[in-house]
A and B are shown apart, each in its own frame.
Chain A
Amino acid sequence: MEIGKRVAREEDWIQGATGDWEIVLGLEVHAQVTSKAKLFSGASTEFGAEQNTHVSLVDAALPGMLPVINRVCVEQAVKTGLGLKAKINLRSVFDRKNYFYPDLPQGYQISQFKHPIVGEGEIEIDLPEERTEKIGIERLHLEQDAGKSVHDMHPSMSHVDLNRSGVALMEIVSRPDMRSAEEAQAYVRKLRTILRYLGTCDGNMEQGSLRADVNVSVRKPGGELGTRCEIKNVNSIRFIGQAIEHEARRQIEILEEGGKIDQETRLFDPKTGETRSMRSKEEAHDYRYFPDPDLLPLELQQEDVDRIAASLPELPDEKKERLMADYGLSAYDATVLVSDGARADFFEEVAKGRDPKLAVNWVNGDLFAALNREGHSLEASPVSAKQLGELLDLISDNTISGRIAKDVFDSMYKTGRNAIEIVEKEGLRQVTDTGAIEAAIDEVIAANPDKVEQVKTKPKLAGWFVGQVMKATSGKANPQLVNEILAKKIDIPSED
């Protein structure tokens, strides 16, 4: 589809005073490359180290120092490109982006401007109600991160921490193909999932491993593209949503009052939920890009690209297809599972040799409800896939009922013990002894002659009897058996 052609669904339109508006969004995501060393030096990329302890001579831009490309970062970029179904450029060029800033020691950032390592690609995003959209990727290029200015250590001075200086980033630029905050958020989620599957970026937004610059413009639905504003460095998916909503409304307000949008760079303030101007187009830097003469053009061999392609893991979309085909899962269940590779793996372990529908309900339902409630990650789950599988086996072979299984699960989650151990210790085995069930039923009938009369005209009361029997057996009676025997004992008319 041509750039910017898709029109948002009507429900995504924003109602202004003069009519409906449509948001057009493009994202530039900076993803920190997972690598031990920086892009052009051997210094460590470890997060959270003491200030200025991971700084090489190159990172500090001492006189006469020269960059040397880290091949691991190049491979990671290629891998990411392949994961985005993008064109890999066998020849790319590093350029210098020149500007002065205290946390930019060289006075320029080494980036790729005219000839990026990865060209056009595509991401399919997953939206509610099983809607998907294809979002175009314009390019991916490698560049250096800057250091960090620290302003709160001294009343009148700023400090600079160069630990991040020179860390490899992938800048992934989308086409302006998104039409709502929800789509932009889904895009970042999906991109993050793909990066994590590939192992090329940990996607940790709190630590700044993934940050987004959001380009926002508004237009009359399907109309000409409007002037865009770029909101810099938004560092959570929630903030991306807030920033877009606020920025779109701000722009609509200006346009409806007869004003025009100035192309500018804006900042999102999470405290106020608003965006504010950082610099106008007039104040924009002239970066004076030119090819970095310290680095030869980056040449890749097709064999290397092929080798990396052959080593790619199964990606979310492929995994989703497979889970649906192999396990008969719904698109919804499969989408939820593949949003996190570890969750999908967990599911597959639980589902092995078991009922997949039961497995997915327990993984996506009870397990994740408990993990979310307790704030645990899947990796830290007190119930392993093996343990959950054993619990499901107890349900399947009628050792316990589904109802009791939930209690057993809660107990497993709290104690980390195995299901069978809990069932035995707590005496939770399902009662399948028809004699015992009959006795319980007889007792309820004997104690409630009035109800026995009433049930003859009110069939709904049958449920009350089941409840009483379950109560009497502490929920352990097999519900199916209770129903069967009860039907024989009392005369319950059919409900037609």
Chain B
Amino acid sequence: MAKNDELIGLSLAEARDKLKAKEITSAELTDAYIAEMEAGRDLNAYVLETAEQAREMAKASDAKLAKGEGGAIEGVPLGIKDLFCTKDVRSTACSHILDGYTPAYESTVTSQLWRDGAVMLGKLNNDEFAMGSSNETSFYGPVTNPWRRNGDDTKLVPGGSSGGSSAAVAAKLCLGATATDTGGSIRQPAAFTGTVGIKPTYGRCSRWGIVAFASSLDQAGPITRDVRDAAIMLKSMAGHDPQDTTSVDRPVPDYEAALGQGVKGLTVGIPKEYRVDGMPEEIDALWSQGIEWLKAAGANIKEVSLPHTKYALPAYYIVAPAEASSNLARYDGVRYGLRVDGKDITEMYENTRAEGFGDEVRRRVLIGTYVLSAGYYDAYYLKAQKVRSLIAHDFRQAFSEVDVLLTPTAPSAAFGIGEKSDDPLSMYLNDVFTVTVNLAGLPGISVPAGLSKEGLPLGLQLIGRGFDEETLFRTAHKLEEAAQFTAAPEAWWRS
């Protein structure tokens, strides 16, 4: 185990360098992670382990590395959120309705990771169709956060919807994980698990082959142990795809190269509307600490106003369910996935969708159907779209004065499994700081910045201009340096 501990202790960047230097092999690294993945089954982070495939991919990577060849992340073992379609590997979006669905195609994002040499360990748990903020809505059951409160073994949620990704990265069950973010599904889980998660600008990564939740908001991004690892992974995941006409054709910068640039001369905006009522004092304090760190690193700090922030959450919970209600119409039992027979086609639809979708998905399909209905469209969907324009306008105004915004990622630390699952509204409030970014299509990153009184990780979020991920990485890197976040969960799941 000692050798394994050493191997899994390496960051993605370190592992990459050692693989290139032939100090380690992908086979041994992959085996170490397979062992961790198996030892960590209690966390329920993986919904499908693909150990055999991982070993084959590692072997192929080693052959390339031996010849001094291979891609940017050759031989690096990753976990893949189940929302990504993976060729010949079951992909269900953690929904019963996609039971046994095995695509004959590979999502663009994952195919780019394989192109660059990554190794797939398995498919990671998520909220069903990415609808949730705690990973409790998965058909495969909740994921347990590797972190626990001090002296308390209550099982906590890892955040959602990318809870499998955040838990697996935090528990070192993979070197990095793909994730997706529609309203905070990368950043909030990252904050809950002491990991780094970036949602890039809308259009930066292809959505082709990712099971759609809300098309105008969905974006893929990585969850990793540190900022450098996120920069490395995003470089592989990003890029234009002619198969997704909402992806944008512009070059992908070398994000890693932006890391050392510091924040001197940058102006960091502090949006005053993000000081919400009832926010825990310790989060407020962490935010102030973050401001001090960036100031000390040479950044200018400026308070800005994003006046329409308070309308973001309601607008989001109209737009996202509206698109979802339509995106999920294809799961009808006719062509693939679950079918529950009925006496006629209508009954078959009803039976299939009633049994195939969980409560949260049904709730959102109902909300979405309602807000798009004749007579309600103008009052809800159209108004929400107007709010969306106003929010985007707020950000444009702010970015005429500042280079990057600093906010908390989530209004609380991780909560207990089951604590909020009966209260959708309080669950939705988890996204209060993150949804604005999706509505405006901007990039946002969450960086672990400290621990709560109870010993749980807390994150700070940076928001950037569209396609200016480089400034995010550079600022996040400074924050990371200043925060010196070295705490790690005790590996209780191994015993």
Contact = CB atoms under 8 A, between A and B. Distances in A.
A63 B211 contact: yes
Given A63-B91, A64-B209, A108-B329, A296 B245 contact: yes
B97 to A, nearest CB: 10
Contacts of A289: 372, 377
B250 interface: no
A57 B214 CA distance: 20
A160 B215 CA distance: 27
Given A69-B245, A108-B329, A288-B372, A63 B335 contact: no
B246 A296 contact: yes
B428 interface: no
A68 B208 CA distance: 11
Contacts of A102: 332, 334, 345
A100 interface: yes
Nearest to B319: A293
A108 B215 CA distance: 14
Q: Which of A69, A288, A296 has the most CB of B within 10 A?
A: A288
B216 A293 contact: yes
Interface string B194-223: 000000000000011111101110000000
Interface string A60-71: 111111111100
A100 B326 contact: no
Contacts of A286: 373-374
Interface in B329-387: 329-330, 332, 334-336, 345, 349, 369, 372-374, 377, 381
Interface in B106-147: 107
Given A96-B326, A293-B214, A294-B245, A63 B369 contact: no
Interface string B96-112: 00100101110100000
B98 A63 contact: yes
A102 B335 CA distance: 9
Contacts of A296: 245-246
Give the interface size bracket for B toward A.
35 or more
A485 interface: no
Interface in A57-107: 57, 60-69, 96, 98, 100, 102, 105-107
B93 interface: yes
A58 to B, nearest CB: 9
A108 B336 CA distance: 17
A288 B365 CA distance: 13
A100 B373 CA distance: 15
Contacts of A342: none
A64 B212 contact: yes
Contact of A160 (B323, B325, B334, B377): B334
B298 interface: no
Contacts of B373: 286, 288
A295 interface: yes
A66 B326 contact: no
B245 A64 contact: no
Nearest to B85: A64
A290 interface: yes
A293 B335 CA distance: 23
Chain B CB count within 10 A is highest, among A65, A66, A289, for A66
Contacts of B332: 100, 102, 107
Contacts of A62: 103, 105, 336
B369 A288 contact: yes
A63 B98 CA distance: 9
B322 interface: yes
B329 A63 contact: no
A280 B210 CA distance: 39
B330 A107 contact: yes
A160 B84 CA distance: 28
B364 to A, nearest CB: 14
Nearest to B333: A102
A98 B329 CA distance: 8
B288 interface: no
B242 interface: yes
In this complex, the member of B84, B104, B210, B372 whose beta carbon has the largest number of chain A beta carbons within 10 angstroms is B372
A295 B245 contact: yes
Nearest to A101: B345
A106 B328 CA distance: 8
B208 A65 contact: yes
Nearest to B370: A288
B426 interface: no
Interface string A416-433: 000000000000000000
A68 B215 contact: no
B335 A61 contact: yes
A63 B85 contact: yes
B107 A107 contact: no
A106 B214 contact: no
B249 to A, nearest CB: 12
Contacts of A100: 329, 332, 349
A100 B330 CA distance: 9
A62 B334 CA distance: 11
Nearest to B207: A66
Given A288-B369, A293-B215, A64 B330 contact: no
Contacts of A290: 322-323, 326, 372, 377, 381
Contact of B246 (A98, A158, A294): A294
Interface of B: 84-85, 91, 93, 98, 101, 103-105, 107, 207-212, 214-216, 242-246, 322-323, 325-326, 328-330, 332, 334-336, 345, 349, 369, 372-374, 377, 381
Interface of A: 57, 60-69, 96, 98, 100, 102, 105-108, 158, 160, 286, 288-290, 293-296
28 contacts: A61-B335, A62-B336, A63-B330, A64-B85, A64-B107, A64-B212, A65-B209, A66-B208, A98-B325, A98-B329, A98-B372, A100-B332, A102-B334, A102-B345, A106-B329, A106-B330, A286-B373, A286-B374, A288-B326, A288-B369, A288-B373, A289-B372, A289-B377, A290-B322, A290-B326, A290-B381, A293-B215, A293-B323
Given A63-B101, A64-B211, A96-B326, 10 more contacts: A60-B335, A63-B330, A64-B107, A64-B209, A68-B245, A98-B329, A107-B328, A288-B325, A289-B377, A290-B322
The 4 closest A-B pairs by CB, nearest first: A107-B329, A293-B216, A293-B215, A288-B372
